[in-house]
Amino acid sequence: MTPLPLLKDATLEIDGRIAVLTFNRDDVRNALTSTELVSDIPEAIRWCNENIEISVLIMTGAGSAFSAGGNIKTMGERAKGPPHELQQAYRRGIQRIPLALEQAEVAVIAAVNGPAIGAGFDMANMCDIRIGSTNTQFGETFVNLGIIPGDGGAWFLTRLVGYQRAAELTLTGRVIKAEEALALGLLLEVTAPDLLIPRAKEIAAKIAQKPPQALRYAKRLLKLAQKQALEEHLDVCSAYQAICHKTEDHQEALKAFFEKRHGQYTGK
């Protein structure tokens, strides 16, 4: 395993095959803009991708919020330059997060400890699994400030809840609480606040027990399935399956199945 990345506004902790990324800017409710989180998050994902010893990444926020998204106090400053400069700022800034999460090779679980608003909501939607606490709130609130989801939020939200519900949430800018988010399928589960991280780790541990290479290929297929025609997707499936059949972990999984024990996997 390579040395941990040097992060500025977040911490990355390793527990076996599970990495936990915690946003540490509670002073601005873990805003993604005007903090180093916009760089820390892609860097942590890059590190996880490079280390086969990691199978799951949990993302959560320190303090009361998961992420407030954009920092409203500094938002006015960003509007002073010409449009082309602002466009480049988005491409080199906040848009690095959806690209990094879309390219994540490990399973990503959002442990949403509190409000996830604007880009914070979108970031949660970019993850594979979302677990919330009773303190969780979601809001696609860009329109309330006269702007739009510049981080690709509409792309992710429509895929999660369908066009009609995504339109209602985006065009009204209303904030929903945990139980409604659960009913809409935005959250997989809702826990008490003190049980959120333990439950996220419990789910992560079940994933991390599986053969590492098979997990990463399965994750790629889930992402590709959103974009590919069936014939093209089946062609990729056959290639990935051929690779998996040739791994040492596949043989170990077969032995473990017949011997009625947990497999011991190396990622080879």
pLDDT digits (tens, 9 = 90+) for 68-110: 998 777 766 666 678 777 777 778 878 999 999 999 999 999 9
pLDDT digits (tens, 9 = 90+) for 126-160: 999 999 999 999 999 999 999 999 999 999 999 99
Whole-number average pLDDT of the chain = 95
Q: Please tell me the predicted confidence (pLDDT) of residue 66.
A: 98
Whether the pLDDT of residue 197 is over 70: the answer is yes
pLDDT digits (tens, 9 = 90+) for 203-214: 999 999 999 999
Whether the pLDDT of residue 240 is over 80: the answer is yes
pTM (predicted TM-score): 0.95
Q: Please tell me the predicted confidence (pLDDT) of residue 93.
A: 77
**SS3 sequence, the chain?**
CCCCCCCCCEEEEEECCEEEEEECCHHHCCCCCCCCHHHHHHHHHHHHHHCCCCCEEEEEECCCCCECCCCHHHHHHHCCCCHHHHHHHHHHCCCHHHHHHHCCCCEEEEEECCEEECHHHHHHHCCCEEEEECCCEEECCHHHHCCCCCCCHHHHHHHHHCHHHHHHHHHHCCEEEHHHHHHCCCCCEEECHHHHHHHHHHHHHHHHCCCHHHHHHHHHHHHHHCCCCHHHHHHHHHHHHHHHHCCHHHHHHHHHHHCCCCCCCCCC
pLDDT digits (tens, 9 = 90+) for 226-235: 999 999 999 9
Q: Please tell me the predicted confidence (pLDDT) of residue 84.
A: 78
Whether the pLDDT of residue 42 is over 80: the answer is yes
Q: Please tell me the predicted confidence (pLDDT) of residue 251.
A: 96
